[in-house]
Amino acid sequence: MATDTLASPATLSHTQTRVFKNFIDGEWVEATTGKTFENRNPADTRDLVGIFQRSAKADVDAAVDAAKRAFERWRLVPAPRRAELVFRAAEILIERKEEYARDMTREMGKVLAETRGDVQEAIDAGYYNAGEGRRMFGPTVPSEMPNKFAMAVRQPVGVCGMITPWNFPMAISSWKLLPAVVCGNTCIIKPAQDTPLSTFNLVRAFTDAGIPKGVVNIVTGFGAEVGTPLAEHPDVRAVSLTGSSDVGRIIGTIAAKSFKRCSLELGGKNPMIVLDDANLDLAIEGGLWGGFGTTGQRCTATSRIIVQKGVYQEFVDRYVERAKKLKVGNGLDETTEMGPAINEKQLQTDLEYVEIGRNEGAKLMCGGNRLDQGEYKYGFFMEPTVFIDVDPKMRIAQEEIFGPVVSILPCDGLEDAIEIANGVEYGLSSSIYTKDVNKAFGAIRDLSAGITYINAPTIGAEVHLPFGGTKATGNGHREGGIGALEFYTEWKSVYVDYSDKLQKAQIDRAE
Ligand code: NAD
């Protein structure tokens, strides 16, 4: 067995089993439990991607101690210098983009074009956040008193704990780590147990860029065993979770008890509205990409398509025809359009929702079955699935499935569409296809979601705008752009009185 420590993964052949350790205080170390877990390819479970440490509270404690010590040094490094390291890490990711994309497809199944995009998103986040090292703007305002100077500066929060999901294993880790580091924080990241390798690769880019010890630490393992102690640790002053709303409730409750800063980026049930005047070719392309990209396993997946009655039948016929032809397979094959589900449990959930939809009276137009013959034998594959004539109150139209199951709902017009779109507990992404600018702006105003696309599906966020949602999608924080800066810094207001006398704010007024 090859042990992957500081060696470049490129030097290890894929026929060897790679064993990955935790990264704590600048050292690659085994978990105190002595236990490990396997990371297998969901397209072919015979393929063992790597073995990772199954860590526990003691490993979290060691990482937090290291991060706490490192914080005292790191916070004093000027932000532009901190940012240079992030920039260098982004440059390293460019060199390794193909290798890391292939690792990602192997560990989580999405097609290569998408995993290349995932690594690219981390690169983009690197460049954006590196620039932030020379901005981190704060207000400088006139004082109400003479000879007094007033401004607010951003300061780091301290030790940050990060818990990530498996569907964007490098991009989402980068949204958290990169701004946190530029802002002067130190971090412990716990990646999803299905996809630790991609976060590991991101951390490796940091180590090779020369990040000082203790600034970035990775502790792998399971949610309750690593994520919970990380969120509970009193020295962790900010915790950032991207994951399901159920886990969001757990982490939010833990954080509330000690008043720590907490960012929750959670589930979605994202609507795409298609009005009668839409460019249907575009809407069909968009709906397929939004619905079946990443096998429907995006928080922003287009899981509901709300179509106005005038074009409903044509949209349904053409959409279903195209969905049936999508090529399902191993994401490492460049011709594959849709990969597997992440694991058996998720696949079973997807299949259960097919049954739920059928029992609720929705019309199953294509898909609904597991694929397990021939090339699919060792993976978690399923047909692209489309339900039509779905009622907005049905469970398949209300609950996040997180699989390749799209619901199409008829609507009377814009007002009706918006009521349907908003009638779920989530509020992450939304979209509308129309050529009418008035309707588009009406939708921008009225859709209750953190993101609205016009003439594009519900997926495709860019790193320099805030990302996140309303209602059960989170607790109001945003990642990306200045959203991240707000989370990873504390404001300090500074007053400099150079009058040489006591001036009393709100009291000493020259009337
Ligand atoms: P999940 O909630 O099961 O797991 C997310 C992370 O939380 C994992 O690292 C997991 O190990 C950890 N975790 C699980 N139980 C925990 C516990 N009791 N205490 C602490 N940590 C715990 O989610 P998932 O299956 O990895 O990802 C899918 C979910 O993530 C979907 O709901 C999706 O919508 C959401 N998601 C949201 C966004 C967003 O930005 N809003 C982005 C991607 C994914």
Atom of ligand 1 nearest to the CA of 474: 41
In this structure, the number of other CB atoms found within 10 A of the CB of residue 232 comes to 18
Do residues 292 and 434 share a domain?
yes
* Tens-digit pLDDT profile for residues 179-233: 999 999 999 999 999 999 999 999 999 999 999 999 999 999 999 999 999 999 9
Whether residue 250 has its Cβ less than 6 Å from ligand 1: yes
Do residues 179 and 211 share a domain?
yes
The 10 Å CB-count burial string (b at 16+, else e) for 431-457 is: bbbbeeeebbebbeebbbbbbbbeebb
The continuous run of DSSP H or E covering 451 comes out as strand 451-454
Do residues 234 and 298 share a domain?
no
Which residue from 40, 33, 93 is spatially nearest to 58, judged by alpha carbons?
33
Residue 244 in domain:
yes
Residue 468 in domain:
no
Mean pLDDT within 324-342: 98
pTM of the entire structure?
Answer: 0.96
Distance CA 431, CA 324 (A): 23
Which of 121, 163, 477 best tests ligand 1's pocket when mutated (most atoms within 8 Å of CB)?
Answer: 163
| Encoded tokens for 336 | 């594959």
Do residues 138 and 280 share a domain?
no
Distance CA 203, CA 216 (A): 7
Residue range(s) defining the domain that contains residue 132:
10-266+483-493
Out of 121, 225, 265, 337, which one is annotated catalytic? Answer: 265
Identify whether the C-beta of residue 71 lies closer than 8 Å to the C-beta of residue 156: yes
pLDDT at site 511:
67
Residue 463 in domain:
no
- Closest C-alpha to ligand 1, atom 23: 243
- Closest C-alpha to ligand 1, atom 9: 192
* Tens-digit pLDDT profile for residues 235-284: 999 999 999 999 999 999 999 999 999 999 999 999 999 999 999 999 99
Residue 503 in domain:
no
pLDDT tier at 2, thresholds 50, 70, 90: very low
Residue 464 in domain:
no
Do residues 378 and 243 share a domain?
no
Residue-wise DSSP of 100-169 = HHHHHHHHH---HHHHHHHHHHHHHHHHHHHHHTT-----EEE-SSTTEEEEEEEEE--EEEEE--SSST
Residue 231 in domain:
yes
* Tens-digit pLDDT profile for residues 54-96: 999 999 999 999 999 999 999 999 999 999 999 999 999 999 9
CB neighbour list of residue 277: distance below 8 Å, 6 or more residues apart: 434, 435, 436
pLDDT tier at 16, thresholds 50, 70, 90: confident
Number of domains into which the chain is organized: 2
Whether residue 454 has its Cβ less than 6 Å from ligand 1: no
Check whether 439 has a pLDDT greater than 60.
yes
Which residue from 377, 440, 450, 366 is spatially nearest to 404, judged by alpha carbons?
366
β-bridge partners, 52 = 37
Do residues 150 and 188 share a domain?
yes
Give 292 Cα–ligand 1 centroid separation in angstroms: 20
Give 163 Cα–ligand 1 centroid separation in angstroms: 8
CB neighbour list of residue 323: distance below 8 Å, 6 or more residues apart: 288, 291, 292, 366, 367, 384, 385, 386, 406
Task: Determine whether 299 is an active site residue.
Answer: yes
| Encoded tokens for 159 | 């030790």
Out of 160, 187, 299, 411, which one is annotated catalytic? Answer: 299
Task: Determine whether 72 is an active site residue.
Answer: no
Do residues 29 and 43 share a domain?
yes
Give 345 Cα–ligand 1 centroid separation in angstroms: 14
Do residues 235 and 307 share a domain?
no
Sort residue 415 into left (φ over 0), alpha (ψ -120 to 50) or beta: alpha
Do residues 118 and 248 share a domain?
yes
pLDDT at site 510:
67
Check whether 104 has a pLDDT greater than 80.
yes
The 10 Å CB-count burial string (b at 16+, else e) for 400-430 is: bbbbbbbbbbbbeebebbbebbbebebbbbb
Distance CA 355, CA 181 (A): 46
Distance CA 341, CA 76 (A): 45
Residue 164 in domain:
yes
Give 192 Cα–ligand 1 centroid separation in angstroms: 7
Whether residue 228 has its Cβ less than 6 Å from ligand 1: yes
Mean pLDDT within 449-459: 98
Whether residue 163 has its Cβ less than 6 Å from ligand 1: yes
Give 167 Cα–ligand 1 centroid separation in angstroms: 9
- Domain C-terminal end among 438, 454, 470: 454
Dihedral, CA of residue 66, residue 68, residue 71 and residue 72, to nearest 10:
-110
pLDDT tier at 116, thresholds 50, 70, 90: very high
Do residues 330 and 417 share a domain?
yes
What's the CATH code of the domain at 285?
A: 3.40.309.10
Atom of ligand 1 nearest to the CA of 190: 9
Structure letter (DSSP) for residue 374: G
Do residues 191 and 317 share a domain?
no
pLDDT tier at 34, thresholds 50, 70, 90: very high
Distance CA 453, CA 444 (A): 8
Mean pLDDT within 337-343: 98
Check whether 4 has a pLDDT greater than 70.
no
Do residues 245 and 303 share a domain?
no
Give 321 Cα–ligand 1 centroid separation in angstroms: 33
Check whether 11 has a pLDDT greater than 90.
no
Mean pLDDT within 385-401: 98
Mean pLDDT within 388-407: 98
What's the CATH code of the domain at 120?
A: 3.40.605.10
- Closest C-alpha to ligand 1, atom 8: 192
Whether residue 227 has its Cβ less than 6 Å from ligand 1: yes
Atom of ligand 1 nearest to the CA of 473: 41
| Encoded tokens for 370 | 């597991």
Letter for the amino acid at 352? Answer: E
Whether residue 459 has its Cβ less than 6 Å from ligand 1: no
Atom of ligand 1 nearest to the CA of 245: 32
- Closest C-alpha to ligand 1, atom 16: 223
pLDDT at site 20:
97
φ/ψ of residue 183, rounded to 5:
-75, -5
Residue 2 in domain:
no
pLDDT at site 17:
87
Check whether 485 has a pLDDT greater than 90.
yes
Give 368 Cα–ligand 1 centroid separation in angstroms: 25
Output the CA torsion sign for 239, 429, 299, 362: positive
